[in-house]
Amino acid sequence: MVGPLENFIERDSGQQYASFANVTAHFTRHFDVQVGGRVERDEQTGQLTSGGPLVGTTTVGPSLSSTVNAVTYLLTPRFRISSNLMAYARLASGFRPGGPNDVAALSVNVPQHYDPDKTVDYDVGLKGGTAGGLLSFDAALYYIKWKDIQVALTDPKTGAGYTSNASEAKSEGAELSVRLRPSAGLSISTSLAWNNAEMTKAMPPSSYINAVSGDRLPYSSRFSGHLMATQVFPLSDSATGFVGGELSYVGDRLSAFTGLGSAEPREHLPAFAQTDIRVGANEGTWTETFYVNNLTDRRGVLGDGWTGGAVLSQVYIQPRTIGLAVSKAF
């Protein structure tokens, strides 16, 4: 029996401290503004231990640490046009913490830590419905500016994977959701989204990633949608039954960026739709549901792993699944 030829053990830990507050100022009965803020401190440490016949003597790398202080904000003015119609806007910032690269102990080419990436979101929308609840809707336009993107990289000399920061991107689009209640017990809802997510600045040569301005971000679809219908009906004085279904659509996508200098195209992930159905009953605190997920047994691809144009693995949606679920509310 042959034991492991190479061992890498990463020990990571972290702590997060945060304080936040939201305040809403009502200037008139039609107009108000919400202001929010969050102060956060993230502390992370990491250490890599390597050993085994291929590596040689067991080596314990230095303990690397990363500390980030961040302030994010939220500004949301809202105007009530009528009791059933409201217009709103939103300006918000966000960030994702950075951290240490444990594998920096293996190569001088790997930075000891990576910085947070940050976003600024701009939204405008209209939300409303009919007085009797027959129809409700929410429509929005958005633009997200993303900079210092965290990217997964590979050191070409050692093959070690690490994270670094590079370049800028944007995500802009439109979303619409509608809910209709045409009769007692019947609810129909749908949502549609169009999204354009792309690079706005080329990756630097040091990133080893082939991506320029205008390139579509990995795994982002231009179009997606969802349709759901549920009918609830009485079974007895204490029990109700329900039957429903869902149809989800995800548009075509492109896989991860290729390595710098690669002539291979990015893998194309085709669009797919998934259909789920369910039938069940509620009685008191108990719910029994018979379901069939992915009714047509589609093989939608969620993602893949590949290098230099060679697909190494693919992740599919769950195949047709038939089951019975019983739950109780406490």
CA dihedral 22, 24, 25, 29 (to 10 degrees): 180
262 and 328, same domain (yes or no) = yes
User: According to the model, what pLDDT value does residue 157 have?
Assistant: 67
DSSP code string of 158-213: T--EEEEEEEEEEEEEEEEEEEEEEETTEEEEEEEEEEEEEESSPPPGGG-EE--T
User: According to the model, what pLDDT value does residue 191 have?
Assistant: 98
177 and 225, same domain (yes or no) = no
User: According to the model, what pLDDT value does residue 309 have?
Assistant: 46
142 and 223, same domain (yes or no) = no
Task: Answer yes or no: is 132 within a domain.
Answer: yes
Task: Answer yes or no: is 54 within a domain.
Answer: yes
Per-residue pLDDT of the chain (330 residues; tens, 9 = 90+): 455 555 666 677 778 899 999 999 999 999 999 999 999 988 878 777 766 665 556 666 677 777 888 899 999 999 999 999 999 999 999 988 888 877 766 666 777 778 888 999 999 999 999 988 899 999 999 999 999 888 766 666 666 677 777 789 999 999 999 999 999 899 999 999 999 999 999 887 766 678 889 999 888 999 999 999 999 999 998 999 999 999 999 999 998 777 666 667 788 899 999 999 999 999 999 999 999 999 999 999 988 765 444 556 788 999 999 999 999 998
- Please list, in sequence order, all residues whose beta carbon lies within 8 angstroms of the beta carbon of residue 177, skipping any fewer than 6 positions away: 137, 138, 139, 189, 190, 191, 192
31 and 176, same domain (yes or no) = yes
60 and 173, same domain (yes or no) = yes
117 and 247, same domain (yes or no) = no
96 and 5, same domain (yes or no) = yes
307 and 280, same domain (yes or no) = yes
Task: Answer yes or no: is 213 within a domain.
Answer: no
241 and 288, same domain (yes or no) = yes
pLDDT tens-place string over residues 286-297: 999 999 999 999
Strand segments (E) across 83-156: 85-96, 99-100, 113-114, 117-129, 135-154
Give the chain's domain count: 2
150 and 222, same domain (yes or no) = no
R_g over Cα of the chain: 25
102: phi then psi, degrees, rounded to nearest 5: -60, -35
259 and 140, same domain (yes or no) = no
Task: Answer yes or no: is 171 within a domain.
Answer: yes
**Domain residues for 321?**
218-330
Among candidates 24, 94, 13, which has minimal Cα distance to 47?
Answer: 13
174 and 286, same domain (yes or no) = no
